[in-house]
Amino acid sequence: MRAEETQVNEASNSAVQSAAVVDHAALTEDLALSQLSDRDLTTEVLEHISRDVGLMKSRKVRMALASHPRTPRRIALRLLRELYNFELMQFALLPTAAADLKRLADEILIARLASVTLGERIALARRCSEKVAGALLLDKETRVWQMALENSRLTEATVVRAVQRSGTAVFVEAVSRHRKWSLRAEIRLALLGNAHTPLARALEFAGRLAPAQLRDVLHTSRLPEKIKAYLRKELENRS
C-alpha cells in the first residue's frame, strides 16, 4: 500500500506541475521563481520556463533556471553563454550550482576579460571567484591586480602561480611587501625564484630558509646572478 501511495503522490505532484504549465501560459517572474525554488521541478516545467521570452529577460529567472539541478544541460549551457559578466561572476559563486557549470562560468568570464572595461575589471577583482581573481592578478593595470590581491577567495596557491608567471617588477615587489601574502612560505619560495624580487626582500626570505633548501632554490632561481652570488656568499657565512 505504501508503494502505491508513493506512486500516487508522485503522479499527483507531476500533474500539479504540468497543470501549472497549462494554467500559466504567461508566467509572472514571481511565479516562475517560486516554481524554480522547487528542486524536484519536472523537466517539462523547466523547458516551458526556458521558452518564455518575457521571463528570460529577468536576471533572477535566468540565474535560477541555469543553476537548477534538473535543468537540461543544453539549456543551462545556453543560458550561461547569454549571461552578462557580473551574472557569470555571481553564478560561479552560487552554492547550489553544479561544479562543472561554475567552472564553465569562470572560463567564459576569463575569456571575456580582454574586452571588459577597466572599471568592471576592478569591480570583478574585488568579488569574483578564486579562478577569475587569479587571472586578474596578471592584469596590466595596477588597480586591477591590487584589488585582486585583496580578494577574500584568493588562495596561496593562486598567488604562487601568479608570481611564477609574472614578468612585471611592480607586481612582484608588491607581493613581496604584502602584509598577508609576503608571510606565506610557498609564496616566499616563488619570490626567490622570480627575477624581479628586490634584493632586500630576497635577503630576508633567504635568511629564513635552511641552507640545503636555499641551495635548491638558488639552483633554479631566475634572480639576477649578482643577487644569487650574494646569497651564496651569505650561505657560506652561515655554514
What does the block give as the cell for 98? 553544479
Q: Rounded mean pLDDT of 130-142?
A: 98
pLDDT at 15 exceeding the cut of 50: no
pLDDT at 140 exceeding the cut of 80: yes
pLDDT of residue 234: 86
Domain coordinates in residue numbering, the chain: 1-82, 85-154, 168-239
pLDDT of residue 25: 54
Q: Are 173 and 145 in contact (CB under 8 A)?
A: no
pLDDT of residue 152: 97
Cβ neighbors of 203 (< 8 A, separation 6 or more) are 230, 231, 234
Q: Are 121 and 115 in contact (CB under 8 A)?
A: no
**Length of the chain (residues):** 239
Q: What is the pLDDT of residues 222-235, one digit of tens each?
A: 999 999 999 999 88
Q: Are 62 and 29 in contact (CB under 8 A)?
A: no
Residue 28 phi, psi dihedral angles, 5° rounding: -85, 165
Q: Rounded mean pLDDT of 87-100?
A: 95
Q: Rounded mean pLDDT of 136-141?
A: 97
Cβ neighbors of 55 (< 8 A, separation 6 or more) are 27, 29, 32, 49, 61
- Percent of residues, the chain, with pLDDT higher than 70: 89
pTM of the entire predicted model = 0.84
Residue 85 pLDDT class (50, 70, 90 cuts): very high
Query: How far is the CA of 156 from the CAs of 80, 106, 189, 204, 220, in angstroms?
Result: 29, 19, 12, 19, 21
d(CA 160, CA 178): 13
Q: Which residue has the higher pLDDT, 60 or 24?
A: 60
pLDDT of residue 16: 45
d(CA 72, CA 44): 10
pLDDT of residue 236: 86
Q: Which residue has the higher pLDDT, 212 or 20?
A: 212
Q: What is the pLDDT of residues 102-123, one digit of tens each?
A: 999 999 999 999 999 999 999 9
Q: Rounded mean pLDDT of 31-42?
A: 95
pLDDT of residue 26: 64
